[in-house]
Amino acid sequence: MIDFINLYLVPALTLGSIYALGAVGISMIFGILRFAHFAHGDVMSIGAYGVLTAVWFIPIHPLLLMPFGGALAVFSALAADRWFYRPLRKLPTIYTVIASFGVALILRSLMQILWGADNQVYVRGVTMPVVLFDTFRISALHAEAIVLTLIIAVALHFFLTRSRTGRAMRAVADDPELAAVAGLDTEKVIRWTWVIGASLAAVAGVFAGMDTDVHPNLGWNLLLPMFAATILGGIGKPMGAMAGGIIIGLAEELSTYNWIGEASLISPSYKTAVGFIIMVVLLIFRPQGLFKGRLL
């Protein structure tokens, strides 16, 4: 039992948290801008590199330098929207999807040019795990990721339901034309969507980078499970996406547990296929997801 928690459950929740933070942004962009943002993974990666660079200059704990990563990610997202997505806003959204495909490549190339393609780490050496109650050995990183994601989830919920901008965002997601008729500033809502989506993506990117290594494909590799999480939660339902992320993370990690007998349920090399399988099942049986999101 203890082993299960230490070696499977906690890492699963960590992975789920990373997915959750990324999926929220994707779901919001889906809901408000109505397209699948293929460059979201790379926005995560750029956030990770932003913090990495900051750590080189100010060698303190990466999480304290989060704002640098966030700023870089937000800047990239806003720039991509201004130069590449906004000009295509009036066309069928599939063109913006293609453009986001291109932005993914542009961001990835920039990362490879500026930082090189090798793996990099925030902190050298091994960090000691945190020991709780003499039995649970949890890495500090995992604890930080899970707790921070929880805090963000609560904050996000209050933002969306209590604040003016949050409500305006939900209104635009519901019906952009009615929102314009009601006098809402749609462009402002779009800007906020990028700011929030990119900031959360950066946090996810830093955790992912701290968990493994920082490399240009960091975010791109996580894109598929994050899309699955978005669909699972229901498109346009940010809180649903967070739940979806946690579920996908759990499913992925726990699929390698030896539930039956000695061997793991699914070979570890196919872990990433779990998200895809869940997505396929959803698309066949319930494309609107758990929380009845919008069917595009």
Partner 1 sequence: MEWTGLLFYLVGFLIAGGIYAILCLALNIQWGMGGLFNAGIAGFFAVGAYASAIVTTQASEKHLGGFGLPIPVGLVVAAVVAGLTGWAVAKICVRLKSDYLAMASIGIAEILRLVIVNESWITNGSLGIANIPRPFDGLVQGRAADFVFLAVVWAVVAMVYWMSARLHDSPWGRTLRAIRDNEHAARAAGKDVDWFRLQTFVIGAAIMGVAGGLSAHYFKFLSPSATEPLLVTFLVWVMLMAGGSGNNRGAIAGGLGIWAIWSLTEIFTNRLPPELATRSSYVRMLLIGLLLQVVLQKFRSGLIPEKSPPVRFDGNSP
Partner 2 sequence: MSALLKVRGLTAGYGGVPVIEAIELEVAENSVTVIIGPNGAGKSTLLKSIFALTQITAGTIMLGERNITGLATSELVPIGIAAVPQSRNVFPSLTVSENLDIGTYAAAPKDRDRTQEKILALFPDLVPKLGQAAGELSGGQRQMVAIGRALMSEPKLLLLDEPTAGLSPAYLEKIFDLVLDIRKSGVTILMVEQNAKQALRIADAGHVLVGGRNFISGTGAELLANDNVRRSFLGATA
Query: ∠61-77-201 over CA atoms, to 5°?
Result: 40
CA 173 to chain CA centroid, nearest Å: 19
Q: Please list every residue from 166 through 185 that binds partner 2, using CB under 8 A.
A: 167-168, 170-171, 173-175, 177-185
Are residues 242 and 23 in contact, defined by beta-carbon separation less than 8 angstroms? yes
d(CA 243, CA 22): 12
Rounded to a whole number of angstroms, the minimum distance from the CB of residue 265 to partner 1 is 16
How many residues touch partner 2 under the rule CB under 8 A: the total is 18
Q: What single letter denotes the amino acid at residue 76? A: S
Q: Please list every residue from 215 through 274 that binds partner 2, using CB under 8 A.
A: none
* Closer of 89 and 167 to partner 1 (Cβ): 89
Residue of 90, 125, 164, 262 interacting with partner 2 (CB under 8 A): 164
Are residues 61 and 197 in contact, defined by beta-carbon separation less than 8 angstroms? no
Rounded to a whole number of angstroms, the minimum distance from the CB of residue 135 to partner 2 is 44
Tokens at 40, concatenated: 């979201």
d(CA 157, CA 49): 28
In 3D, which of 97, 174, 129, 188 has the Cα closest to residue 10?
Answer: 129
Computed on alpha carbons and rounded to an integer, the radius of gyration of the chain in Å comes to 19
Rounded to a whole number of angstroms, the minimum distance from the CB of residue 2 to partner 1 is 31
Q: Which is it for the CA torsion 280, 43, 80, 169, positive or negative? A: positive
Q: Write the binding mask 68 to 97 for partner 1: x where contact by CB under 8 A, - elsewhere.
A: ---------------xx--xx----xxx-x
* Closer of 95 and 136 to partner 1 (Cβ): 95
Residues near partner 2 (CB under 8 A) are 164, 167-168, 170-171, 173-175, 177-186
Give contact residues for partner 1 (rule: CB under 8 A).
30, 35-36, 38, 83-84, 87-88, 93-95, 97-99, 101-103, 105-106, 108-110, 112-113, 116-117, 223-224, 227, 231, 267, 269-270, 272-273, 276, 279-280, 283-284, 287, 295-296
